[in-house]
Each structure stands twice: as structure tokens, then as C-alpha cells.
């Protein structure tokens, strides 16, 4: 599966999944239940939130949702359009740890 993510300035995340040519039909997707965030990553995410002073394109809840979404669909490739400070990319990357996938960001 390929996941395309577009983050708008209004703080809305839109995403859609598309079956790729090498779709893993018949393979079970990783569990969508996301483990707790590592303390070092939690500190990094908090630092980004503090530095952006309310200007983040996604909330922490949206970030957690993106992480679960990536894992739930078993995404192997994610394209993020509008990476800004990298906050959402970290959440997506956490989901990709479960699937062994790759993230590409475009500003």
C-alpha cells in the first residue's frame, strides 16, 4: 500500500491509501495499536510543539492517528506534502517502523 498525506495550513490532515502494483494481498497488516512513544521522541515532539507556538499543521491527536493509520494499512511508501517542521513526519515514521516502509516529504 502507498499512503499519500497532505497537510493543510488549516490544520486538517487528509490522507488516502492506494493499492500499489506490488500489493501484499493475503498478508496480514501489522496491528494498528500503536505502542507508547519513546521518552526521547516525546521530548523532541514537545520541543517542536513549543517552538511552533500553536502553528503546527497537525495536533498531537492527528499525529497519533497518522501513526495508527500507517500501521493499520501496512503502508510501505508514504508521500507527505507539506512537511513544515517535521512534526507529522515523526509520527508517520513511527508507523513506518511497524511496516518497514519509507517516507518521502516535499515542502
- Separation of alpha carbons 27 and 95, rounded Å: 17
The model's pTM: 0.67
User: What percentage of the chain exceeds 70 in pLDDT?
Assistant: 65
Residue 73 has pLDDT above 90, yes or no: yes
12-48: per-residue pLDDT in tens? 445 544 444 344 444 444 444 446 788 899 899 989 8
Q: What is the DSSP letter of 77?
A: E
Burial of 95 (0-12, 13-18, 19+ CB in 10 A): buried
Strands 13-18, 2-7: pairing kind: antiparallel
Amino acid at each position: 500500500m502507498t499512503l499519500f498525506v497532505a497537510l493543510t495550513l488549516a490544520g486538517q490532515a487528509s490522507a488516502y491509501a492506494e493499492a500499489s502494483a506490488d500489493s501484499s494481498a493475503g498478508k496480514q497488516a501489522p496491528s494498528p495499536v500503536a505502542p507508547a512513544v519513546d521518552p526521547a521522541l516525546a521530548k523532541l515532539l514537545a520541543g517542536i510543539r513549543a517552538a511552533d507556538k500553536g502553528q503546527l499543521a497537525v495536533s498531537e491527536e492527528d499525529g497519533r492517528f497518522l501513526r495508527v493509520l500507517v500501521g493499520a494499512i501496512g503502508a510501505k511508501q508514504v508521500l507527505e506534502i507539506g512537511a513544515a517542521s517535521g512534526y507529522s513526519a515523526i509520527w508517520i515514521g513511527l508507523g513506518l517502523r511497524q511496516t518497514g516502509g519509507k517516507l518521502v516529504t516535499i515542502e
